[in-house]
Amino acid sequence: MLAPGSTEKLKRIAERLTGWGRIARADLPDIIVKRKANILRFRDDGVIPNHPRWPLISYRHPVLLPRDADPAAIFEDLFALNGWGRSWRGGIYDYVHYHSRTHEALGIAKGKVKVRFGGNRGRLCYGKAGDVFILPSGTGHQCLGASTDFLAVGAYPPKGTYDECTDSEDHDRAVASIAKVAPPRKDPVYGTKGPLLHIWT
């Protein structure tokens, strides 16, 4: 287990080695571009419940990624600025899963990815660096392929608890949990002025 502060030290070392740095928080609004909210709705298929009311939201390239900045750090800082925390860096699991007690934001920091949302009867989507997907609780997701340099950043709103559900045994309990997850107070990209606040009502 890493000692307190070790993660930040490792990030600073990585920034020095790669030449990438974090951009100032005050400069984050300068790299945000207003984009249309694309929405996808999915039905309960008996295994993956999806959300009964709220659709998945995607923004195509709402975040400009300067070459001299760490793209993952940009998403971490942007999501945190808008109250979405507990961030992680990595890939997307290659099996169908969902979260019944929290929503999830996925920012594509590097590379390209092919993801199926909504379960086995869902929709195939393609993402590339700068894109964002916002999944309401219950939304199935599975990586079906990615470039070798693919890197995502995930984050969660402050209310909610991470869990991972995968099969029909989780379904009935998950349906009850999904209904209790409150809408977030801020859009992870656009804050209090984001389309999410009008779509997830």
Banded pLDDT at 8 (limits 50, 70, 90): low
Q: What is the DSSP string of the chain?
A: -PPTTHHHHHHHHHHHHHS-BPPPGGGGGGGB---PPEEE-----SS----SSPPEEEESS-B---TTB-HHHHHHHHHHHTT-EEEEEE---SS-BB-SS--EEEEEEESEEEEEESSTTSEEEEEETT-EEEE-TT--EEEEEE-TT-EEEEEE-SSS----B-SHHHHHHHHHHHHHPPPPSSBTTTBTT-THHHH--
What CATH code is assigned to 32-199?
2.60.120.10
Q: Which residue has the higher pLDDT, 166 or 57?
A: 57
pLDDT tens for residues 113-138?
A: 999 999 999 999 999 999 999 999 99
116: phi then psi, degrees, rounded to nearest 5: -100, 125
In the chain, the largest separation of any two C-alpha atoms, in whole Å, equals: 49
* Mean pLDDT score, 29-47: 96
| Domain definitions of the chain by residue range | 32-199
pLDDT tens for residues 42-57?
A: 999 999 999 999 999 9
* Mean pLDDT score, 54-76: 96
Least confident of 5-14, 66-75, 117-126, 150-159: 5-14
Using CA atoms, how far residue 72 sits from 18, 80, 145, 155, in Å, is 13, 12, 20, 12
CB neighbourhood size of 80 (10 A): 16
